[in-house]
Amino acid sequence: MKRYGSKHVFRTLAWRMISMGILMGAIFPIVAIQMGVSPELAISPAFIGTTLTAGLIVGGLNFALASRTIRPRLRRLNRRMREVRATVGQATGSGDWLESDPAIFQLQEQAKDEFGEVVSSFNALLLALHSAQRAEKRIQSFSHTLTSQLDLDELSDQALALLIKHSAADGGAIILEKQGDWLIPTSKGLVKPEFILNSPALQVGYEQASIRRFDLSAAGEDEGSIGVALSRLATREVLLLPITHHKVLLGWVVLATAESFGERTLRLLPMKIQGLGLALNNALLHDDLQRVAALDPLTGLYNRRFGMARLDDELTRIQRSQAPLSLLIIDLDDFKRLNDSYGHLAGDKMLVHVAGTIRELLRAGDVVMRYGGEEFIVILPGSGLEEARKVAERIRVAISQSQVQVVGHSLSVTASLGVACSSDDGISTAEPLLRLADSRLYAAKSGGRDRVIADGAGKVLSS
């Protein structure tokens, strides 16, 4: 393949200009004859030699002039390109791009000719390279920030804040699929983000898992619920961006703006969402592992270790708010006899049934754990002793009235409950609170079982 470096180009240019000069010198005698010069003079060796020499000189002068005009500009461009290449190579190795500012390497060219266009293209290329490097650095920083975070709520909040900042959006939300349900772990600037979950636009998105862009100035029926969620914002456009990991849909990013999303933003957002998909997948796996580690494998309630940690957390929290906290210890009566008579499978089925019965009678903020064997503990944040006694009584009645079918037998159990309250009993730490509730449970057992004890004297409050 023929090369066209600057050296070869100027060598070719020199030969062509000199050859052109010699050719003009050779043709000139013929032209001179046509102009009236005598043929004897025109074809004389001296005349021909003079015209050839003149043509050679003119060709050489033209080459020298062109070389003096163009060569320095080409050398300057070439030198600058070498500097850029060296700087980019060094920055790629070190990761430090501070010295790669395009303003340092840009060329100034006043001419409007083809060379001026080349310089303009070179400067534009520098700007494009710098812009691409900045975009890549942002994406890397975004991904690094998120992948270092495993707490699902904090990750979602951090990711949404960065996406809103980088896209210049006015608000947004993150929607995730967790254990079969769609939920919104975080939102910013939206009035009623929960309305988005019921939007027909999102329902279509579940099936297509593709980027969707809505112009709310001409919103149709599908965008109605999104419009309600953003009703207090001067929103013009909304983006729905699917969050996927290995082609599995994990959730959605919703972004809203009063302006229009720029084309550059639309190009970069999907690349950032890829990093978010990996981070969220890791956080969801971590969340599942944490949840599994915290649960009793038989009943699905919190296990003793995690439940006790929650008790310490709740006691710390109520000390700040000066609110009461009550604790119930529930023990199934004569459970060993049920196991011995009908087997451990029947006992396990009864434990699962009782766990579900207790859970159904509690509030969303209450905590229930399997303390061990056939014992359960219920933590009631914000509940005083009398309110806790009523909850304990409802649990006692529900357990005694329910039955479990096991191999042709209808089995039932009763339960004894001890109740203690942090404020009524003047207790602020877990161990004495547990000890008091356990002593009242023992009083309930000693008093005939199937009853609730909630005072220090061991008085039977119900039976």
**CATH number of 422's domain:** 3.30.70.270
pLDDT exceeds 50 at position 323: yes
Ranked by mean pLDDT, the top range of 136-145, 383-392, 398-407 is 383-392
Residues taking part in catalysis: 374
pLDDT exceeds 90 at position 380: yes
Residue 170 is predicted with a pLDDT of 84
**What is the torsion angle, in degrees rounded to the nearest 10, for the CA atoms of residue 202, residue 204, residue 205 and residue 206?**
90
Is 1 within a domain? no
Is 194 within a domain? yes
Residue 383 is predicted with a pLDDT of 93
Is 439 within a domain? yes
Average pLDDT on 52-79 reads: 70
Residue 389 is predicted with a pLDDT of 95
Range of the domain at 227: 152-294
pLDDT exceeds 90 at position 415: yes
pLDDT exceeds 60 at position 97: no
> Which of 32-41, 138-147, 201-210, 297-306 has the lowest average pLDDT?
138-147
Q: Percent of the chain scored above 90 by pLDDT?
A: 26
280 neighbors 251 (Cβ within 8 angstroms): yes
With a CB cutoff of 8 Å and minimum separation 6, the contacts of 191 are: 228, 229, 230, 231, 232, 233
Same-domain check for residues 220 and 319? no
> Which of 177-191, 210-224, 350-364, 447-461 has the lowest average pLDDT?
210-224
Ranked by mean pLDDT, the top range of 47-61, 226-240, 375-389 is 375-389
Same-domain check for residues 162 and 207? yes
Average pLDDT on 168-172 reads: 85
Same-domain check for residues 449 and 308? yes
Same-domain check for residues 351 and 407? yes
Same-domain check for residues 381 and 290? no
Is 142 within a domain? no
Chosen domain end from 294, 321, 346? 294
Average pLDDT on 399-415 reads: 90
**CATH number of 271's domain:** 3.30.450.40
Is 285 within a domain? yes
Same-domain check for residues 264 and 333? no
Average pLDDT on 47-61 reads: 71
Q: What is the domain count for the chain? A: 3
Is 455 within a domain? yes
Is 137 within a domain? no
Is 139 within a domain? no
Same-domain check for residues 239 and 166? yes
Same-domain check for residues 310 and 444? yes
Average pLDDT on 222-241 reads: 61
The CA radius of gyration of the chain, in Å to the nearest whole number, is 42
Same-domain check for residues 202 and 310? no
Same-domain check for residues 212 and 360? no
Burial class of residue 128 (count of CB atoms within 10 Å of its CB; 0-12, 13-18, 19+): exposed
pLDDT exceeds 70 at position 328: yes
> Which of 19-28, 122-131, 208-217 has the lowest average pLDDT?
122-131
Same-domain check for residues 164 and 20? no
353 neighbors 346 (Cβ within 8 angstroms): no
Query: How confident is the prediction for the chain on average, in pLDDT?
Result: 77
Same-domain check for residues 283 and 319? no
Which strand (E) or helix (H) includes residue 316?
Answer: helix 304-321
